[in-house]
Amino acid sequence: MIASLLRIVVMLLASVAAAAGWTSYKGLPWFEDMQAVRARAERMKELKRSLAIGLGEVRARIEQGAIVIDARAPRQYREAHLDVVALGGAIPALNVPPEYLFQNLDRLGGLQGNVFLLYCNSPTCELAEELALGLIENGFSAEDIRIYPDGWEGFEKAKLPTTSGADDWFPQARVPEAGSPPGDEALIDEMAEPAQAPQDATEPMEQPAENSQTEP
């Protein structure tokens, strides 16, 4: 019995030592700074107030070329999300939960200069604000970010068009600027069909067969 307790104590001490070594190696704090946590929460509330827009502006922004980002979980996005293309948008709604922002920075970086319109589940959901703060911390301008606070619940109540499926959009095509004519969506890396190689001038031309008669 005593031996078992000693083994448990030794294992706990080893776990604590390993955790201490890891946090020291990574330069991580043992305990999260509560003051920093509160400051971040207040910043998110401020963003929700200052960046919030209504449903009418959502429609207008989409028609002007805003990039819509669904901050909900991938499972929820796959089940149903806003059909941005049906509302006149240039590209489908992207799915970027805050915890996956780092993996999406490359494709979002190529879209900078457009307005990013974020939404999540409902007025009580904070994923959109968390994503907005993450974007700002990674160099995106707050002036180019808007939040629809009613989120998915608001879209459902307004009976806006929805679609389903995974987010598989990648910025291969140039996003048309606001006011550009329809069809102005040429691929950046579009390659022309290779021209057919001309016949080699040195290649001997085939001579027509001569009709010869054998002499008797």
CB 117 within 8 A of CB 56: no
Within a domain: 3:
no
In a domain, 2, yes or no: no
Give the C-alpha separation, 18 to 9, whole Å: 14
Which residue blocks in the chain are alpha helix, DSSP H? 2-26, 34-51, 55-63, 74-79, 101-109, 127-137, 151-157
Q: Are strands 145-147 and 116-119 parallel, antiparallel or unpaired?
A: parallel
Nearest to 91 by CA among 115, 75, 73: 115
Res 19: pLDDT = 52
* Neighbour-count burial for 155-190, b at 16+ CB within 10 Å, e otherwise: beeeebeeeeeebeeeeeebbbeeeeeeeeeeeeee
Residue 190 lies in a domain: no
Dist CA 136 CA 132 (whole Å): 6
- Which tops the pLDDT comparison, 173 or 122? 122
Q: Which residues pair with 70 in a beta bridge?
A: 95, 119
The SS3 of residue 112 is: strand
Q: What pLDDT, on the 0 to 100 scale, is given for residue 115?
A: 97
**HSE, side-chain direction, 13 A CA sphere, residue 18:** 6
Q: At 180, list the tokens.
A: 């550009």
- DSSP states of 51-75 as a string? HB--HHHHHHHHHTT-EEEE-S-HH
| Three-class SS state of 44 | helix
**Number of domains composing the chain:** 1
Indicate if the pLDDT at residue 192 is higher than 60. no
Q: Is residue 211 part of a domain?
A: no
- Residue 216 in any domain: the answer is no
Asked if 97 contacts 74 with a C-beta cutoff of 8 angstroms, the reply is: yes
Q: Is residue 136 part of a domain?
A: yes
> What pLDDT score does 142 carry?
94
- As a whole number, mean pLDDT of residues 156-170 equals 95
Domain that holds residue 95: 56-163
Asked if residue 67 belongs to a domain, the reply is: yes
CATH of the domain at 138: 3.40.250.10
pLDDT at res. 35? 81
Kindly tell me if the per-residue pLDDT of 65 is higher than 90.
yes
Mean per-residue pLDDT for 68-72? Answer: 98
Query: Is 212 part of any domain?
Result: no
